[in-house]
Structures are given as structure tokens and as C-alpha cells.
Amino acid sequence: MPRTSYPFTQALITGASSGIGEQMAHMLGKAGVPMVLVARRGDRLQTIADQYKNVEVLTADLLTAEGVAAVEARLRDTTKPPVDFVVNNAGFGTSGPMHRIDPNRLANEVQLNVVALMRITSAAVNLMLPRGRGYILNVSSVASFQAQPGLAVYSATKAFVTSFTEAVHQELANTGIRITALCPGLTKTEFQSVSNTSKYESKFPAVAWTSVKLVARTGINGVIKGKPIVVPGILYKTLVGITDVLPRSAGRWFIGLFTRR
């Protein structure tokens, strides 16, 4: 059942112009939670902001040092309401054999999925610690649990996100700060077109696709409950459980059946 209220006083969502980030923005906006929406496409952010009260638009490209610095500056800005819920949702992937992909694109993938997320998390934690309260949700992927041939760099970046978040979760025990890694499986968003994985829509049955609403709801509920890792959907919970006991070589072979060109 959808929530009608949340324990947040001010949220900041990166990658809020589409997909999971946009869905979370609508969920929080409908509940009256003030927000700071971050993405490159300011016009799309403004369209969302116009539907709710107390919404700031921060147009920033997190592939750049300036963009990340703008988010860090907003988190530190004492003239504005303090942020107590940060969603690191911005990210992208690239499909295909690693050696055939432009290394500059792969470097950008690491920059956005790993470096920007780490810096924003660090800034958020340092500001939340003196208050003794806060929530951070880092959007990872089920790809983080198993090397993914055909998505080599993407799965590696998400492995970082899940491991990093789990470790920081333990570091922050008893501080009042809750940090969670959200690890969805296949979810129909703009991710497929950006990452050149639209072909997977025909390779996987409808049951393999998780709704963006379920993913967003699972993530927010998980961080409220203080869980280190949440996986939306019974199917993907089961697959992650199997991954834990399956030899890594077998996992690579199985994934390769679907991702090879």
C-alpha cells in the first residue's frame, strides 16, 4: 500500500528527471515532502517541480567536477532547509564487449556511478552526523552481485556501490544515519536506450521486468527501516540468493547466455 507520509523533512534526488528518480520525486511530492531535484535536464525537472510545493531545481551535470560541487554546496548551504534524505540515483550503463566501447564513455560511467556517488555520500554523511539523523539511498543493481559479460564496467561500478554502501552502513551503526543500497533487476526506464540494452526487452519475459513504482517504493521503505540492502521483487530476491551459493564461473556463463552479442 502506498505511503501517504514519510519521516523526511527535505529530500535531494539525483537523476530525478526520469526513471526511478522521477518516480521517487512524484511519491515524495504527493506526500508533501520538500525536495531538491538534480539532473542535467533542467526543463524536465521543472515540469516535475511545477506539480508540487517546496521543490528546488538544481541543474547539474554530475559527470563534471562542477556539477558534483554544486550538489555538495547545496548540502552544505545553511541558508536553506537542511537535507535529511539523499537519493543517489544518477547513473548509466554501456552494453557490449568492453574492448569495443569508447574508453572515454566507460570512464564517464565510472565517474558518474562511482565517484560522484561517493562524493555526495561523503558530503551527506558529514552533514548528518552532527544532527544524529539522516537517510541515504544509493541506487545499485542486482548486477552488483555477479560479473556481467556484456555489461562489464556497469556491473563493476554497481558492485562498488553495493559494497561501499554496505560497509558505510556498518560504519554508521548507532549514529542515527541510515544508508541503504537499492538493487533492482530489469526495470523499464530510459536506462535501456541510454545503455544500448533495449534488445533485452525481447530476450526476457514480462515476468522478469519489475515496475518502476515497486522499485521506488522498495527503496524508500528499505532505507526508512534501516536495511543495508534491498532487492525489489520475489524473482530477484531468489536470484540473488542463488548467486550467493552458485560458483562464480557458473554465474558468468549463465549471464553470458543473455548478454552476448
- Is 1 a domain residue? no
pLDDT at 132: 98
Q: Please give the mean pLDDT across all residues of the chain.
A: 89
Average pLDDT over every residue of 212-235: 95
Could you tell me the pLDDT band of residue 39, with boundaries at 50, 70 and 90? very high
Of the residues 135, 154, 200, 236, which is catalytic? 154
Is residue 4 predicted with pLDDT exceeding 80?
A: no
Distance of CA 50 to the CA centre of its chain: 24
Q: Please, which residues have CB within 8 angstroms of residue 215's CB and are 6 or more apart in sequence?
A: 20, 23, 182, 184, 187, 232
Is residue 5 predicted with pLDDT exceeding 60?
A: yes
Is residue 204 predicted with pLDDT exceeding 80?
A: no
The strand ranges marked E within 5-155 are 11-14, 35-39, 55-59, 85-88, 134-139
Q: For 167-186, write each residue's pLDDT tens digit.
A: 999 999 999 999 999 999 88
pLDDT at 52: 97
Q: For 41-82, write each residue's pLDDT tens digit.
A: 999 999 999 999 999 999 999 999 999 999 999 999 999 999
- Is 105 a domain residue? yes
Q: CA angle, corner 152, sides to 146 and 157, nearest 5?
A: 75
Active site annotation includes 154? yes
Average pLDDT over every residue of 223-238: 91
- Cα(24)–Cα(18) distance, integer angstroms: 10
CATH number of the domain bearing residue 185: 3.40.50.720
pLDDT at 33: 98
pLDDT at 70: 98
pLDDT at 195: 45
Range of the domain at 249: 11-259
Average pLDDT over every residue of 123-149: 95
- Cα(3)–Cα(184) distance, integer angstroms: 20
Query: Highest mean pLDDT: which of 4-8, 193-197, 227-231, 249-253?
Result: 227-231
Average pLDDT over every residue of 145-165: 94
Structural domains counted in the chain: 1
Percent of the chain with pLDDT over 70: 84
Range in 13-27, 106-120, 156-170, 243-257 the model is least confident about: 243-257
Q: Which residues pair with 137 in a beta bridge?
A: 87, 180
- Is 200 a domain residue? yes
Average pLDDT over every residue of 97-118: 98
Is residue 251 predicted with pLDDT exceeding 90?
A: no
pLDDT at 182: 98
Is residue 253 predicted with pLDDT exceeding 70?
A: no
Higher model confidence: residue 39 or residue 240? 39
pLDDT at 257: 44
Q: For 76-106, write each residue's pLDDT tens digit.
A: 999 999 999 999 999 999 999 999 999 999 9
Burial 196-206 (b: 16+ CB within 10 A, else e): ebeebeeeeee
